Amino acid sequence: MFCYQCEQTLKGSGCTQRGICGKDPDTAVLQDLLIYATKGISQYAHRARKLGESSRDIDVFTIEALFSTITNVNFDPERVKDLIMVAYDKLDKARAMYENACKKARVEPEDLDGPARWRPESSMQGLIRQGEDIGIDKRKKALGDDITGLEELLTYGLKGVAAYLDHAQILGKEDDKAYAFIHEALDFIAGDGLTIDDLVGMCLRCGEVNIKAMELLDSANTGTYGDPVPTKVRIEPVKGKAILVSGHDLKDLEEILKQTQGKGINVYTHGEMLPAHGYPGLKKYPHLVGNYGGAWQDQRREFDRFPGAILMTTNCIQRPKKTYMDRIFTSGLVAWPGVLHIKNHDFSPVIDAALKAEGFKEDGPEKYITVGFGHEAVLSVAPKIIDLVK
């Protein structure tokens, strides 16, 4: 394997035996192959879109595939293998869509190569070999560090855009222009003869689209749950049964809150779910009692001490300890080998695990932090702040 996706990579140069994040070599090369497959999908989808044809099914799968390869999202090689096989199906559908668009437009289809011609091996070992053949280290030898580095920079930028777009579409907000750019950029990377100037230009465009994707997600979050307001959040436990929700998926948190009403279970946020307390549509639930724990890298120690069920909704899962393996769950795109994955927002297993667990025996000391300083909250008092500064 070779991975330098995150800033915590080994010695700042790249992980080659096992990821600092916990990713094993097989998962790493399978993720490389999944990205390669999305490039093939986009070669057809981009050209079809220019002829007036598109598919939401293909668009959403492409962003889910990209998102699933972000650090600490999906580290289950079997789940990645399943995504690769789905990618091949989407590639066939994208090819058919493009050929149909050409037929309607009475133009001759291009004879595409590279990822567009990819076919998966049938076995896990065969897929791993395919992933090794198209990995970063092989491309560095063929294209050099600079071109490969810029291609990867663009790819990581696309993964970020995809993460925002995926969370937004879960809440019903989508942007066809952003989907179009994802396919255009992946098709661009799949091409030959790219120059540094070409790649820098596309990276800058990706940054612009990323800002738009952030705006879209903000609109989705505030449109669904209201604009965040300054809110005190308890950071010490409350006596009783408990569920911890980590990640970024506000919809999953909302469903947990709905499904635990009246069951005597307190719900805590963790990590990057902390801002959820500021949203009126979520803070209205009285059993959303606080935030537990600190940074993602401390989770193995903190989860070990948490006496309840744990749900990981997006990235930042680390290798679970055996001590809490039977009470940690994943949802959405998150996966870890041996961890029960929740589908269709049916959180009954999480609730059952929380009720069986010990729970907190007593209240902790009353300690609070304040969240909810979103742009609307800040701008609403901007004149007063400016006057005070003057």
Determine the length of the chain: 390
Looking at residue 166, its pLDDT comes to 98
Q: Is residue 122 part of a domain?
A: yes
Same domain, 191 and 249: no
Q: Which residue has the tokens 């989770």?
A: 299
Query: CB of 312 within 8 A of CB of 331?
Result: yes
Distance CA 370, CA 274 (A): 10
Residue 18: the pLDDT is 84
What pLDDT, on a 0 to 100 scale, did the predictor assign at position 187?
A: 99
Same domain, 323 and 344: yes
Neighbours of 274 (CB within 10 A): 19
Q: What is the CATH number of the domain that holds 241?
A: 3.40.50.2030
CA distance 198 to 126: 34
Structure tokens at 375: 């742009």
Residue range of the domain that includes 19: 10-223
| Residue 279 counted as domain residue | yes
Question: Does a structural domain hold residue 342?
Answer: yes
Do 32 and 70 share a domain, yes or no?
yes
Tell whether 203 and 254 lie within a shared domain: no
Q: Which residue has the tokens 């998962």?
A: 27
SS3 of 3, please? Answer: strand
- Percentage of the chain exceeding pLDDT 90: 90
In this structure, are 213 and 238 located in the same domain? no
Q: Which of these, 123, 192, 114, 190, lies nearest to 158 by C-alpha position? A: 190
In a domain, 385, yes or no: no
Which pLDDT score is estimated for 72? 86
What b/e readout covers 316-350, taking b as 16+ CB neighbours within 10 angstroms? bbbebeeebeebbbbbbbbbbeebebbeeeebeeb
Note whether residue 389 is domain-resident: no
> Is residue 137 domain-shared with residue 271, that is, in the same domain?
no
352 and 320 share one domain: yes
Confidence at residue 232, expressed as pLDDT on a 0 to 100 scale: 98
Place of tokens 């198209």: 134
Domain finish residue from 200, 223, 246: 223
**182 shares its domain with 70:** yes
Same domain for 258 and 147, yes or no, is no
Would residue 1 count as lying in a domain? Answer: no
Domain check: are 262 and 238 in the same one? yes
d(CA 250, CA 29): 31
Cβ–Cβ under 8 Å, residues 232 and 274: no
Q: Which residues of the chain have pLDDT under 70?
A: none
Residue 18, CA atoms < 13 Å, CB-side half-sphere = 5
- Rounded CA gap, 365 and 190, in Å? 56
- Starting at the edge strand found earlier in the chain, the sheet holding 241-246 runs 288-291, 265-270, 241-246, 309-312, 328-331, 340-342
Residue 383 lies in a domain: no
Choosing from 223, 248, 274, the residue where a domain stops is 223
Domain boundary among the residues 203, 223, 243 is at: 223
**pLDDT at residue 351, as a whole number:** 99
pLDDT of residue 316: 82
Q: Is residue 197 part of a domain?
A: yes
User: Quick one: how far is CA 307 from the chain centroid?
Assistant: 27
Number of domains in the chain: 2
Are the C-beta atoms of residues 328 and 310 closer than 8 Å to each other? yes
Question: Which pLDDT value is given to residue 21?
Answer: 81
